[in-house]
Structure formats: C-alpha cells, structure tokens
Structure 1
C-alpha cells in the first residue's frame, strides 16, 4: 500500500502532484472511498455538521476545510468503520479492494485505530493496492503509537498504541494559529518521550511512504527527530 500522510489534506501543488504520481492515473479517472470515523471520537469535529462537511468536501471554516474529497474524483463513496462489524464482509471487502484511494479524515487517532481493528480494515490495509491518504489523525494512526500529548478518547485496553504500519510517529498541525499548543517546543518535548523516530509537520507538509521508503513533501515547515 502507498501512503500519503498529511497534516491537513491535499492543500498545495506539491502534495497534489505527489498524489497524482502515486495514483499512476488522473484523479478524474480514480475512484475514492472516504472514511470519516475518526471525527466521531473528537469533540471538535464530530458528530454533526463537520462530519458532513468532510464527506461532502464543503467547509467554510479554514481549520476544517477538507481538500481531499473535493479534488475531482471519478466517484466518492463513504466507508463508515463503525458500521462494518454489523454487515457481512463480502458486502464491503471487495469494495475496498477495488478502490483506487482511501481518504481518511482527522479526528481522534485512537478512536480510529479502535474501529480499524474492530471492523477488520486494519488487517486488509497491508495488502491493498489503493493509495491511502490520511489527514491528521488519519495519518497518525499509521504509527506504532501517538504519545500521551495526543491521547483524547481512551480505548478499552488503554495505552496509545496504533497500527505500526510505519516506524515513525507524526506531530501534525505544527505552529497552527488555531492550535497554540502545537509549537515546535511542544513537538520537541513530545518527540523526546517517543521511542522511535518522529516527524513534526505543518499543514503544508505531507510524508510519502512507498515500500518503506519515506519522502517528505513540503511547501512549509517540518522537522525530523531521531530517538
């Protein structure tokens, strides 16, 4: 699976070009599934109108603008992970296997991780040919863990573990004007408490991962921390 791990979606030319290159065909010829699940676990973005805004690609609030669903896909469907355990796998697994791209919203990374596991999507991800595009929590969930700084919703088993599909963790929304706690100094303290490599990235930055090779795509600010 190819990963494009963003802080705030596909919101500049460099990230957009990277996505098109990963798809190997135009966006207009590609089918997408969007996953809003992480939003329901975070008090700022769900449930309610902001979940609808992500799914529809419409938002007037610059913090919650979603340059993912509205990029001009051939088709966009909704994959709601909380619903999947209640339906037969043969109704949704082929859909996921055939899609060109998964668009995974921000919200709460541990809530997303929990429902990726409960739904069975976590087991499918490594074998998929689709491009996975994460935003904020949708990117953070790929890491081995997220760190106490980002723990909000508490999973039944506790802890801050996530998927471990990459070997680094992500501190998103670096220096965001609406998140005064997301400073470089805070990122450095967070990184110092993590056991593996980490990246702090702003909203103009993404991390591309193909077959384990990591490349930072940025028109903004970012920093790589080694343990």
Structure 2
C-alpha cells in the first residue's frame, strides 16, 4: 500500500485552511490542521513522528510561523522535513527571512490548491530517506540508529548502559522486565553485575530524564518498564 504522507498545516483563516486540508486529503495526504501557533506546537509535541511536511502561514496568532519554523529546525525528529511558507506577505524581505530560517519554499497567497500540492510533492521527491528510526513517548524521543535520547529538542547525555536500558523499554513498551532480564540485556561478560546495579542504572536514567522521569515505572515485586498508565493504546 502506498505510504500516506502527513502534512502539518498551520493557517489561522479557518475556511481556506479547511478547504486546503480537504483537497490534500482527497489527494491521498493526511493533514493535521492548527489554526494558531499554540495548536501547532502542541501537535509537534504529540505527533512529531508522523509529520513529513509543514505548511506554515507566517501571520498566525500566539506563536508566528517564523518561530514555528525555528522550532521545527531544532527538533530532533523534524529538523530535516520540508517547510513551506504559505502567506499573503509577499515582500522580498519576508521571503529572504523565511528562507534564512530554514524554509524550503515560499508560496504567496492566494495560491491554487493544485499549486500547493505540486510544491509539496516536489519537496517530498527531493527528500532523502530517513536515517533514523524514532520512538516517542511523551516528550522523549529515542533515535535507535544514532543511539541518542532527546527530551524535546535537548539531547540527553547517556552512558551506553543507560541507552541500552532506555532502548529496551522503548522498543517493548508493554513489557515489564525483572532485574534478572535487565541484567542479561545490559550485562557485560567481563564484569560481575548484581541486582543493585539495575536499580542504580534506572535511578541515573530517571535523573537524566528530568521532568519526564515518570515514563519509567517501578512495578513492585516485578521489575521495571514503561509507565503504561501514561500511554494507553
């Protein structure tokens, strides 16, 4: 089955936004619509791993399109996606500023629906295949290729053992692991490891996760795993 790309559309004029979203959905895209900047940032936080392209109006309430573009370019998952500014502001300085912020394209309004679609498809064709496989839980993003963990845009500096522990939990979110199972996963044949070692590594990982530390839960008498109460599926 052909993969449906997902577009983040940020446009404060509801009627044109809905018209464009409906057209793109008929043309086999998924569309996430935000009518202001706060809604856009909330979608980025919750659904970053789904978004393939962003279409941003510059003049939207609360957080403008330029700032949203800045956030996208700093985001661990979204930094490489195509960004299109779709806006009535057609002065040259705005176009230059948008491109300097990292936008890939700039379409002045009014623009035909087919023109927007053509620009989206052109940018998607130019995209390189993703080098990373991302797993997201809450504000945390795990890059299983680059072996990194991020909290929103900030990389968390982990030891190799802490990363192995995070990866175990993220790849198997419904599992609860006993200390013995965790030891077998993180253990080194050259070292003696003990149950207490697991507790220390989990504690250190939680400390580094900061406000997101409740992602990892202690299941009394069983062991550790992701907090399933936070991620009901």
Q: TM class, shorter-chain normalised?
A: 0.3 to 0.5
**Larger-gyration structure (1/2):** 2
State TM-score, norm by structure 2.
Answer: 0.33
Instruction: Determine which structure has the larger helix proportion and give its number.
Output: 2
State TM-score, norm by structure 1.
Answer: 0.34
